[in-house]
A and B are shown apart, each in its own frame.
Chain A
Amino acid sequence: MKGSGVRWALLLPPGLVLLVLFVVPVLMMVVTSFRPDLRGGPFAWGWEPTIEHYQSVIQGGDFLPLLWTSARVALLVSFLACALAYPVAYYLAFRLGRSTALLLTLLIIPFWTSYLLRMIAWKIILGSNGALNSFLSFLGLTDTSAPVLLYSRSAVVVTLIYVWLPFVALPIYAGLLRIDRSLLEAAADLGASRFQAFRKVTLPLSLPGVIAAFVMVFIPTVGEYVAPILVGGTRGALYGNIIEILFGDGINWPLGSALAMLMLVGVFALIVIAARVLRVGRLIEAVER
């Protein structure tokens, strides 16, 4: 092992970049959330710390219910994306025969096309004179030009499930692949039916992959504000839209920071729970050794 010089030469560049561009900005957001206003710029001194923004978030009627709505939408999207992807991941993991890699690639390719464009595709499909409606009336199935689904929270949920579906298949598939096949043979030898073997062996053992996929969808979805703008309309607005507006036009950065902090705390609480379940500690130990 070479001396400590090499060690610091390796650590310093990535460490500095992460410190300046990640740790410091998040800390500045924490500080901003306690400022009465932004007078004197972000580095100004001499202001009295205040919790008025947190108070107005908690007492201010609309904020907390909307955060709860965002959390519910994120739970629904993550759950349905995992549930819809699971059978496919299962099929690919237990499939006998060749070209499984090709089938997996085919499933994931849509994820590598622009996320914005996949949302816009749904806007086109769901729009009032959009593809779905005009196609239906072209066939004579509908004569109204009212949008079927566009500009509602349901449109946001459908669009986001579509966006994340190919992505969740991968961790679930990886989790299923890791299952020791001899356990399933043992279950069959002991007289378990195929359904029993699935419920008692395959499903529990595949849960770590499912939970990982769930969290990976939940985190971006709870902060989602683009899908509501494109397909949600005013009725489909989510918590993220308030934050975006408060920062977008520079209206109220301290209040926006407080709102962002609340979401961040919620997300980290969820990650800690998921990490407990997944025993991430063991992974870290493996690297430590």
Chain B
Amino acid sequence: MISRFRVLPAYYVFLVVLLYLPLMVLLLFSFNDGTALSFPLRGFTSDWYEGMLANGQLLGAARNSAVVGIGVSTVATVLGTLAAIALVRYKFPGKTLFLMVAVTPLLVPFLILGVALLILFSALDVDRSLLTVGAAHVVVAIPYTVLIVASRLVGFDRNLEEAAYDLGASFPYFLRRVLVPLIAPAMLAAWLVAFTVSFDEFVLASFTIGREPTLPVFIFGQVRFANRFPQVVALASVVMILSLGLVLLAQRLQSAWTRR
């Protein structure tokens, strides 16, 4: 028993160090006084962070991603919740087919979904913009929201519903006072997952984007401009720290709920 638990912790530490090393390299170069991303380091500077705050295009792209992310996660959470309630609580013809269609977007490479949506939007003569990016992201966020909310509903006590009706509740009242409060934690978790999926997504966005870039599209376009790149790395470091905080917060909330 003992030897196994010596090798494995060492391997765990090794792997975690390996996973964080590239991220640390990014962080290191965001404070390096020089445009070349190479050693030796030239000295400490906060220029890149100041430059980032003055870079309207960069901040605009970050704002676009946030706006798209909030819209996508809200729409996908609502649609996913509706689908999850229908799937868990009701019988209807074609249920298996509906479930499969709702989950399949995750099983198709994003490249293929991206070109398929490109064909659709050009056929319908829809100008590509942040809206089309949002539409694409909703499709791939729905599987997550459906599965997260449905897994919470599966454990739902049917007697609660009958009790509500016996006590004279209407369906909307039941929805508002019983069902939604019950699945609210799952809806919040679904919202957060959908947001992170959208905020970070590049492939679908690159096929459906118009003139206004999202952050990943903007970053991809900056890779070839070496002299401005440290600013992008600086912003990336900020986003990294922020998302770390968000993930830890979500973890906290989730463990608080499961303990209840």
| Interfacial residues, chain A to chain B (CB-CB below 8 A) | 1-2, 6-7, 10-11, 13-15, 17-18, 21-26, 28-29, 32, 41-43, 84, 87-88, 90-92, 95, 101, 103, 105-107, 109-110, 112-118, 120-125, 127, 129-131, 133-135, 138, 162, 165-166, 194, 219-220, 222-226, 230, 240, 243-244, 247, 253, 256-257, 260, 263-264, 267-268, 271, 284, 287-288
6 pairs, CB–CB < 8 Å, chain A vs chain B? A23-B101, A91-B9, A105-B248, A116-B200, A116-B220, A257-B115
Q: Are A21 and B117 in contact (CB under 8 A)?
A: yes
CB-based nearest A residue for B78: A13
Q: Are B8 and A87 in contact (CB under 8 A)?
A: yes
CB-based nearest A residue for B3: A194
Interface size in chain B (residues, C-beta < 8 A): 83
Given A91-B12, A123-B223, A247-B207: A110 touches B23 (CB 8 Å cut-off): yes
Given A105-B248, A194-B4: A135 touches B116 (CB 8 Å cut-off): no
Given A21-B117, A267-B109: A114 touches B142 (CB 8 Å cut-off): no
Alpha-carbon separation in the docked complex, A127 to B224 (Å)? 13
CB-based nearest A residue for B112: A260
In the complex, B136 has a CB within 8 A of chain A: yes
Q: Are A113 and B92 in contact (CB under 8 A)?
A: no
Q: Identify which of A7, A23, A113, A127 contacts B37 (C-beta below 8 A).
A: A127
Q: B25 contacts which chain A residues (CB < 8 A)? A: 121, 124-125, 131
Given A90-B8, A118-B23, A264-B108: A18 touches B142 (CB 8 Å cut-off): yes
Q: Are A263 and B203 in contact (CB under 8 A)?
A: no
Q: Are A88 and B36 in contact (CB under 8 A)?
A: no
- Min CB distance B156 to A, Å, is 13
Alpha-carbon separation in the docked complex, A284 to B103 (Å)? 12
In the complex, B99 has a CB within 8 A of chain A: yes
* Chain B 170-223 interface residues, beta-carbon cutoff 8 Å to A: 171, 196, 200, 202-203, 207, 216, 219-220, 223
In the complex, B148 has a CB within 8 A of chain A: no
In the complex, B163 has a CB within 8 A of chain A: no
Alpha-carbon separation in the docked complex, A119 to B199 (Å)? 16
Q: B101 contacts which chain A residues (CB < 8 A)? A: 18, 22-23
Q: Are A116 and B26 in contact (CB under 8 A)?
A: no
Given A10-B86, A117-B219, A124-B26: A21 touches B247 (CB 8 Å cut-off): no
Q: B216 contacts which chain A residues (CB < 8 A)? A: 114, 116
In the complex, B49 has a CB within 8 A of chain A: no
Q: Are A25 and B29 in contact (CB under 8 A)?
A: no
Given A17-B79, A121-B23: A1 touches B90 (CB 8 Å cut-off): yes
Q: Are B39 and A225 in contact (CB under 8 A)?
A: no
Alpha-carbon separation in the docked complex, A22 to B105 (Å)? 7
CB-based nearest B residue for A145: B38
Q: A118 contacts which chain B residues (CB < 8 A)? A: 22-23
Q: Are A112 and B244 in contact (CB under 8 A)?
A: yes
Q: B59 contacts which chain A residues (CB < 8 A)? A: none
Q: Are B247 and A112 in contact (CB under 8 A)?
A: yes
- Min CB distance B114 to A, Å, is 8
Q: Are A225 and B111 in contact (CB under 8 A)?
A: yes
CB-based nearest B residue for A198: B4
- Min CB distance B25 to A, Å, is 5
Q: Identify which of A10, A122, A124, A224 contacts B82 (C-beta below 8 A).
A: A10
Q: Identify which of A95, A112, A256 contacts B196 (C-beta below 8 A).
A: A112
Alpha-carbon separation in the docked complex, A25 to B116 (Å)? 5
